[in-house]
Amino acid sequence: MNTIETSPLKRKLSAFVALSVDELVVLERLHQRRRTFVAGRDLVHQGQSRQAAYILVSGWVCSYKTQSDGTRQIVDVQIPGDFLGLRSVLLRTSDHSFEPITDIQAVEVHANDLLDAFARFPRLAAAVLWAASRDEAMVVEHLVGLGRRDADGRMAHFLLELGSRLALIGMGSQSGYDCPLTQYHLADALGLSAVHVNRVLRQLRESGLVTFRNGKVTFHDRDRLVEFAGFDPEYLDQNGPLLK
């Protein structure tokens, strides 16, 4: 029980439901097949079928789609406690790839085990559905950012969102967080060039709002950054359990 009590997934799901002892035991059982993956080598490929889902235990991952010209669009960044490939297990084929940004540990979860857990513990199924719905809300927010926010606002919003997500699992605070993303990751996620990313980060730093340097995001004036980005964290739904 000690392992799951401190797991990022437990911390994350507890934002939606107060998990019972039996539900925690089931989560513990789902964490049995732990695997290690190295940075830069896809663990799931776009178009791959019949693969397991994963629960990210440690490290960072990006999910992306490759275009016909070889360029890529990062759809989202996954942090500990996130599911990888959950939708593709249910739909049988992955519509995007997952690449570890750092060396990671992830738990392999077979579809049958997941569906059996859902059948026996509907509240746990509801919590995972909440997590999936929250991920979808973030993708919608990213689409809004790509279409309607300028580059500075897009960057500020993205860094604030990451901070809020990391705070939920005990990896971030109001002052900042460790972040392994490169300027190339940020470019692919935000629809910018690496040169433009560098310029935007410099502008935000010189404005006294936020610094991203040497793998560390530091908020200098978070309230002003929130106002600048128009960041409303309600879509992250982290205000405490809805189910008791």
- Helix residue ranges, H only, the chain: 2-5, 8-13, 21-30, 86-91, 111-120, 122-148, 151-168, 183-190, 194-206, 222-229
- Two tokens, residue 140: 């919608």
| pLDDT tens for each residue of 40-78 | 998 877 766 666 789 999 999 999 988 878 788 999 999
Task: Tell me the pTM.
Answer: 0.91
Q: In this predicted model, what pLDDT tens digit does every residue of 116-141 receive, in sequence order?
A: 999 999 999 999 999 989 988 998 99
State whether 113 and 11 are in the same domain. Answer: yes
For the cut 90, the answer to whether the pLDDT of residue 211 exceeds it is yes
The total of structural domains in the chain comes to 2
In angstroms, the CA 161 to CA 157 distance is 6
- Both 128 and 166 in one domain: the answer is no
Residues 97 and 190 occupy one common structural domain:
no
Cβ proximity of 111 and 83 under 8 Å: no
Range(s) of the domain holding residue 75 = 2-134
CB 163, CB 171: distance < 8 Å: no
State whether 105 and 216 are in the same domain.
no
